[in-house]
Chains A and B, each alone.
Chain A
Amino acid sequence: DSGVTQTPKHLITATGQRVTLRCSPRSGDLSVYWYQQSLDQGLQFLIQYYNGEERAKGNILERFSAQQFPDLHSELNLSSLELGDSALYFCASSVTWQSETQYFGPGTRLLVL
């Protein structure tokens, strides 16, 4: 168990809908990362937050947004969902924004029908 928690574990929704994925980092970790894992693209970095501020952006679509709250938990919002958004979404955390080791949560499996 990495200490990173993600909810929900599974999510089934319809195209056009909006969902929110939640992540709680390990105790003491200030940085949170979001990744999307699909069969064809592998693990793709979406976005990183550090102590409430956006730190780095990757291949995140404009329909997706995220934030990190004062208690350091983070939420990833996915809107106008398309079939192709079906994937595993992982959250990871690290002590600082420069830390080498990232600890991954168990993921949220999103299925868009």
Chain B
Amino acid sequence: QQQVKQSPQSLIVQKGGISIINCAYENTAFDYFPWYQQFPGKGPALLIAIRPDVSEKKEGRFTISFNKSAKQFSLHIMDSQPGDSATYFCAARSSGGSNYKLTFGKGTLLTVNP
């Protein structure tokens, strides 16, 4: 059972455009939602994260929008740059019980054309 569904699988954006990646989750116990960025040959790196008590979080050109009632969250990359070309993973985690593992979406390959 895939607990975090991510779309689209791949995305091509022109330089300067807005990249939008969406995720939906099922487990209402999730209370921490990070986005990871992965470049080829590297491990994933934390990009930005949000908790469900806020609807939006912005760090530079990266913004997470969170809709608790719809159980959806999305990553917006403003003024996308070729250097943003990477695979992006959304994830979710619950802070209850003894298992704090991250559940990842399947990833979105973003290509930003110059």
Contact = CB atoms under 8 A, between A and B. Distances in A.
Given A42-B107, A100-B32, A100-B49, A90 B44 contact: yes
B43 A106 contact: yes
Interface residues of A, number: 25
Interface in B81-114: 89, 93, 95, 98-107
Nearest to B46: A101
Nearest to A33: B101
A38 B106 CA distance: 10
Question: For chain B, which range describes its interface: under 10, 10 to 19, 20 to 34, or 35 or more residues?
Answer: 20 to 34
A90 B43 CA distance: 7
Interface of A: 2, 4, 33, 41-45, 48, 55-56, 58, 90, 92, 97-107
23 contacts: A2-B43, A4-B43, A33-B101, A42-B106, A44-B104, A45-B101, A45-B103, A45-B104, A48-B100, A56-B99, A56-B100, A90-B44, A98-B95, A98-B100, A100-B34, A101-B34, A101-B49, A103-B45, A104-B44, A105-B43, A106-B42, A106-B43, A107-B42
